[in-house]
Amino acid sequence: MTSSLLLAVFAAGFVYGITPGPGVLAVFGIGAARGRRAGAAFLAGHLAGDVLWCGTALVAIVGAREISPTVFDVLGALSGLYLLWLGVKAIRTRRSATGMVERPMRAPLAHGLVFGLTNPKSYPVAVATFTALLSSRAATLSWDMLPQLVAISFAGGLAAYAILIAVVGARHVRTLYTRHEVAITRATGVMFVGFALSALIHAVPGLLSRRI
Asked if pLDDT for residue 162 goes beyond 70, the answer is yes
State the pLDDT confidence band at 159, using cuts at 50, 70 and 90: very high
- Per the CB < 8 A criterion, the answer to whether 147 and 2 are in contact is no
- Distance from C-alpha of 211 to C-alpha of 132, rounded to nearest angstrom: 32
In this prediction, residue 139 carries a pLDDT of 65
pLDDT by residue (tens digit) across 112-156? 888 888 776 676 667 667 766 676 666 677 778 888 888 888 899
State the pLDDT confidence band at 50, using cuts at 50, 70 and 90: confident
- Per the CB < 8 A criterion, the answer to whether 101 and 178 are in contact is no
pLDDT by residue (tens digit) across 84-105? 887 888 788 776 655 555 554 5
SS3 at position 144: helix
CA nearest to 147, candidates 73, 47, 55, 9: 55
CA nearest to 30, candidates 85, 101, 78: 101
**Please, which residues have CB within 8 angstroms of residue 39's CB and are 6 or more apart in sequence?**
27, 28, 30, 31, 32, 108, 164, 165, 168, 169
The percentage of residues in the chain with a pLDDT greater than 70, rounded to a whole number, is: 75
**DSSP state letter for 138:** G
pLDDT by residue (tens digit) across 56-85? 777 776 765 455 667 667 766 776 787 788
State the pTM of this model. Answer: 0.65
pLDDT by residue (tens digit) across 177-200? 777 777 877 887 887 788 778 778
